[in-house]
Amino acid sequence: MSSIIGRKREIERLDRVMAEKEAQLVIIYGRRRVGKTYLINEYFEGRLDFKFTGAFDQSTSEQLRNFTMELNRLMDKGDHVIKDWTEAFSLLRDYLESGSDSEKQIVFFDEMPWMDRQKSGFLSAFEWFWNSWGSARKNLVFIVCGSATAWMTDKFDNNRGGLFNRQTCRLYLEPFKLHDVELYLNSRNIFWSKYDIVQCYMIMGGIPYYLKLLDNKESLNDNIDNIFFRKRAELWDEFDHLYRTLFSNSEKYIKLVSALAKKKKGLTRNEISKASGLSLNGTLTRMLSDLENSGFVRINNVFGHTKRERTYQLSDYYTLFYFKFIKDNYGKDEHFWRNTTDNPSRSVWAGYTYEQVCKDHIEQIKWKLGISGVMTEVSSWEKKGDETEDGAQIDLLIDRRDKVINLCEIKFVSNQFEVKKDYDMNLKNKVNVFRETTNTNKTIQLTMITTYGIKRNMYSNYIGKEVLMEDLFYEDSAGY
């Protein structure tokens, strides 16, 4: 377990699970490739009594055959054949009952959604197993894991049948923050600058599987070329595989994220329907919920507006990178990333994506601002201009319970950011338009979030607070 990086909160929760004196049903969610299986394998190293992994797009008979082989190997039953899932769970019960009642018995079902084929009877068999026997076996710890978060949420969180309120522990594994990405890279003998680590994060996010592909003998640019742009690179078909394995109607989900990818700031439900061609109904609402639960979409509140007017923003770094660079460039230039270092489109992409990085590190920003314990609401705000009036846009706004609002300006540059006269006037106009439009009586604190800070000059004094790139690497006060 010493090899696990980060995941302190999850480890502490699993420690509590193991200390309980009644049966435990542990549900683990999270985006594909985020490290769910690795966490369980490492935490329970050598202690799993039975492990079974579902196979993607395989028939029920194939799944049962795989299950049979695993169980026969442990029970020494030779060529015993299991005809359905009810019999499978009955034999699993026999196997567990043959073991000790005084020691914990740990069962791990990985990728459970793939086992639940149409008309397979899997879920009803599992319900029978757990409700009739498993939940009463005080030493049993049954761990259910799945990347198809929509299935996991529907079958467990929203279940109104035999599994309603049966889970005893629910863990959602999030991607690494920058602090843990740096630790992970260091553990693999990659010692890049924080600037390069942030750029890597903009492409891969905090997904351990992607980060594991990085070669410590290569530069960041060469790594990105080798992983994404070289012909038949390791992640050349990741996009289709990712969505196809997560969502049953993957074509519709791809239409939805394609629409969101074209509007960086996000779209309302109505705008998504028009842009994607998907009907504005309950199905669209469920799809958006699935994408949010899977970590692909972020919901942005709009300051001063109702929930109906909130926007949905594509937030998965790999998906954003795919639509921006991979989709139309794969196979054309095996050194595409190295050859476009000075391309203006990369600067625009980096500036926008750094805003996403900041949104994913709000706790670190609050720590730097000294407001970790203050209740806050994060949102964006925009006022469209016209011929007679200037408009203004604020991408990150932190509305605080202590009657202060941080209006955040975010800049990703390779050196200190210099505030010049025109930009100074723009900032002052932005604050004035916001105050007049919203009629807020709160104190407004202009906050700059940059890479290396502000270069001091005659125009920099208007900046109230600063947050630097290195501050985003802070391991927050809770130690997670």
CATH number, domain with residue 66: 3.40.50.300
- Whether 12 and 103 map to the same domain: the answer is yes
> Are 256 and 284 found together in one domain?
yes
Pairing of strands 311-314, 376-383: unpaired
Q: Number of structural domains, the chain? A: 4
Task: For residues 86 and 158, state if they share a domain.
Answer: yes
Q: 220 and 243: one domain? A: no
**Of 121, 143, 173, at which residue does a domain stop?**
173
Q: Is 266 part of a structural domain of the chain?
A: yes
Query: 350: closest CA among 461, 200, 244?
Result: 200
| Domain assignment present for 159 | yes
Residue 478 lies in a domain: no
pLDDT for 194 equals: 98
- Give the Cα separation of 330 and 337 in Å (integer): 11
**130 and 186 belong to one structural domain:** no
Where residue 318 sits, what CATH number does that domain have? 1.10.10.10
Question: What are 335's two structure tokens?
Answer: 């050194």
Same domain for 156 and 37: yes
Q: Which domain holds residue 60?
A: 8-173
Distance separating alpha carbons of residues 410 and 122, to the nearest angstrom: 49
Kindly state whether residue 455 falls inside one of the protein's structural domains: yes
Asked if 86 and 162 sit in the same domain, the reply is yes
User: Residue 337 falls within a domain, yes or no?
Assistant: yes
Residues 6+ apart with CB under 8 A from 102: 139
- Using DSSP's 3-state secondary structure scheme, residue 263 falls into coil
Q: Is residue 22 part of a domain?
A: yes
Q: Mean pLDDT by 10-residue block, N- to C-terminus, for the chain (480 residues)?
A: 87 96 94 94 94 94 93 78 92 93 95 93 94 95 92 81 82 96 97 98 97 97 95 90 91 95 92 95 93 93 81 96 90 90 93 96 97 94 80 92 96 96 94 93 96 95 96 73
pLDDT confidence of residue 165: 75
Q: Which CA distances in Å does 408 have to 2, 345, 379, 394, 427?
A: 39, 23, 11, 7, 10
User: Do 159 and 15 lie in a common domain?
Assistant: yes
Where among 307, 324, 341 does a domain terminate?
324
* φ and ψ of 275, to 5 deg: -75, -30
Q: Given this model, what pLDDT does residue 332 score?
A: 84
Amino acid at 103: E
User: Does 345 fall in a domain?
Assistant: yes
Give the separation between CA 203 and CA 471, rounded to whole angstroms.
Answer: 20
Do 19 and 165 belong together in one domain? yes
* Statement to judge: residues 31 and 57 lie in one domain: yes
Opening angle at CA 276, ends 270 and 279, nearest 5: 60
Co-location of 255 and 293 in the same domain: yes
Q: Would you list the DSSP string of 466-478?
A: EE-GGGGG---TT
User: What Cα–Cα distance (Å) separates residue 196 from each residue in 146, 186, 219, 256?
Assistant: 32, 13, 9, 31
Q: Please give the pLDDT value at position 279.
A: 94
Give the containing element (helix H, strand E) for 376.
Answer: strand 376-383
Q: Is residue 1 part of a domain?
A: no
pTM given for the model: 0.93
Strands 50-53 and 105-110: parallel
Predicted pLDDT of residue 190:
98
Domain harbouring 384, CATH code: 3.40.1350.10
Contact 381, 302 (CB under 8 A): yes
For residues 296 and 207, membership in a common domain is answered with: no
pLDDT at position 395 is 85
Q: Are 28 and 40 in contact (CB under 8 A)?
A: yes
